[in-house]
Amino acid sequence: MDEHTSTYQPKSAFERWLDARLPIVRFSADLMEFPTPRNLNYWWTFGAILAFCLAVQIVTGVVLAMHYDASGAGAFLSVQRSIMRDVNYGWLVRSIHANGASMFFLAVYIHIARGMYYGSYKAPREVLWLLGCVIYILMMATAFMGYVLPWGQMSFWGAKVITSLLGAFPVIGDPITKLLWGGFAVDSPTLNRFFSLHYLLPFIIAAVVGLHIWALHVPGNNNPTGVNVKSKTDTVPFHPYYTVKDLFAVSVFMIVFALFIFYLPDAFEKVDNNVEANPLVTPAHIVPEWYLLPFYAILRAIPDKLTGVLALAAALGSLFALPWIDTSKVRSKRYRPMARNYWLVWVLAVLVLGWCGSQEPDGHVFPGGAGPVFIDYGINTVTWLSRIAAIYYFVWFWAITPLLGFFEKTLPVPDSLATPVLSHPATVPAGAAAAPQTKG
């Protein structure tokens, strides 16, 4: 924050010497002292959880790269035989890395949802939000390229389908896909460049995370009330208050993570990916990883190729526009009952899209027939359900969100972020208002 001045005092002659040359200790000390709203709840711990996830992915990824053979002929065996069977603890490192990707996305979706619910994207945090969106896109690109590396059937056909998306564009589409593939089809050159980029992008992500944290430290954290920090009493130092809270949350998160690593290592893996890539046969049912399913459903809902690809891009682009299409003056949806309900339906629509993406396009939603055919599919099909959900997805962004700012009657917003904390019955029991605590 602007008024925040450094309180670091070098303690030794060496620290004074270093501080005059590279004030890195001062920088870290100031980060730890950073005044943080006193009312952050557990939804705010996902930033730390995500930092943990990124670190885990980079460390395990560097190890896996030591044993991985990035060639069409050797990739599959280097994963399935060397890493999974021969390399000491290779199975463990791969299980952490593969499940880590899912954990990373689980955490990022909660983190994004928290930002949406409490209006963290609103002024003056627009750049913070945009950088977050950039990180999310980079994560998807990294995860997609990482998924190709084991060179199984799902890897191969996932790569083919996603790169073919760009072929939808007239004139430039074909040269671009050929450029990406380095050939006339997904092949060894494609695998090699994906490996190179999969190794590079996490470090780009780390750099953008640095900017993200910088952009966080200029306006400071939002908080569950959405009310600005007004005085020093509204904040506590980041350390020890939030380092401890974050550490506790990371520990709980690690328990869930460990359950997958040790008890459900294949929970997110498609059986077909244990079959080596075969350019002549597409698996009967190909679906992307769970974290991409909602966008896949939007792509598939539209019967025209180019429009489908543009809708997919617009679904992501809408996220970037959110700070400017939300016209409400109130940040937190705690005080926006209508916005809260419409948003919860939007979350439901995203989950429905995710389910649709995992089903066959002509599958039936409810037991029984497909129902009367409308345009191309029966009403009771996954395709029509995904169309309805996709329409809501966009209507929420581009109609409901801007209009609510004008028409919604919001609840009274507290004067300071401390008011709801101090007046909470659990914090202040009747008759014991200011009694000092003697036992702890």
Partner 1 sequence: MVDSVAHPVADHEGPTDEGRRDFLYLATGAVGGAGVVAIAWPLIDQLNPAADALALASIEYDLTKVALGQEVTIAWRKQPVFIRHRTQAEIDAAVRDDHAPMKDPATDASRVKPGHAQWLIVSASCTHLGCVPTFKGGEYNGWLCPCHGSMYDTSARIRKGPAPKNLYLVPYEFLSPTKVKIG
- Quick one: 13 or 280, whose CB is closer to partner 1? 280
Query: Which amino acid appears at position 112 of this protein?
Result: I
Taking CB under 8 A as the criterion, the residue among 37, 152, 167, 323 binding partner 1 is 167
Q: Taking the complex as a whole, how short is the minimal distance between the CB of residue 324 and partner 1, in angstroms? A: 32
395 lies in the site for partner 1, by CB under 8 A: no
The burial of 169, by beta-carbon neighbours within 10 Å (0-12 exposed, 13-18 middle, 19 or more buried), is given as middle
- Quick one: 119 or 294, whose CB is closer to partner 1? 294
Helical ranges in 23-125 per DSSP H = 24-33, 46-65, 75-77, 90-117
**What is the x/- site pattern for partner 1, positions 265-304, by CB under 8 A?**
--------------xxxxxxxx-------------x-xxx
183 lies in the site for partner 1, by CB under 8 A: yes
How many chain residues touch partner 1 (CB under 8 A)?
A: 39
Residues 133-162 that bind partner 1 (CB under 8 A): 157, 160-162
CA distance 290 to 101: 11
CA-CA-CA-CA dihedral for 411, 415, 416, 420, to nearest 10: -50
In three-state secondary structure terms, 9 is: coil
CA distances (Å), origin 135, targets 104, 204, 213, 411? 12, 9, 12, 34
165 lies in the site for partner 1, by CB under 8 A: yes
Sign for the CA dihedral angle at 396, 400, 405, 409 comes to: negative
Taking CB under 8 A as the criterion, the residue among 31, 55, 172, 185 binding partner 1 is 185
**What is the x/- site pattern for partner 1, positions 213-252, by CB under 8 A?**
----------------------------------------
193 lies in the site for partner 1, by CB under 8 A: yes
Taking CB under 8 A as the criterion, the residue among 23, 189, 265, 378 binding partner 1 is 189
CB 239 within 8 A of CB 33: yes
CB 334 within 8 A of CB 414: no
Residues 296-355 that bind partner 1 (CB under 8 A): 300, 302-306, 308
- Quick one: 186 or 229, whose CB is closer to partner 1? 186
Query: Which amino acid appears at position 403 of this protein?
Result: L
Residue 431: how many other CB atoms lie within 10 Å = 6
- Quick one: 283 or 405, whose CB is closer to partner 1? 283
- Quick one: 77 or 179, whose CB is closer to partner 1? 179
CB 339 within 8 A of CB 328: yes
CA distance 324 to 302: 27
**What is the x/- site pattern for partner 1, positions 57-96, by CB under 8 A?**
----------------------------------------
Place of tokens 């005080």: 335
CA distance 211 to 227: 24
- Quick one: 38 or 305, whose CB is closer to partner 1? 305
Place of tokens 């996709």: 390
Q: Taking the complex as a whole, how short is the minimal distance between the CB of residue 178 and partner 1, in angstroms? A: 6
Residues that bind partner 1 (CB under 8 A): 157, 160-165, 167, 178-185, 187, 189, 193, 279-286, 300, 302-306, 308, 360-362, 376, 383
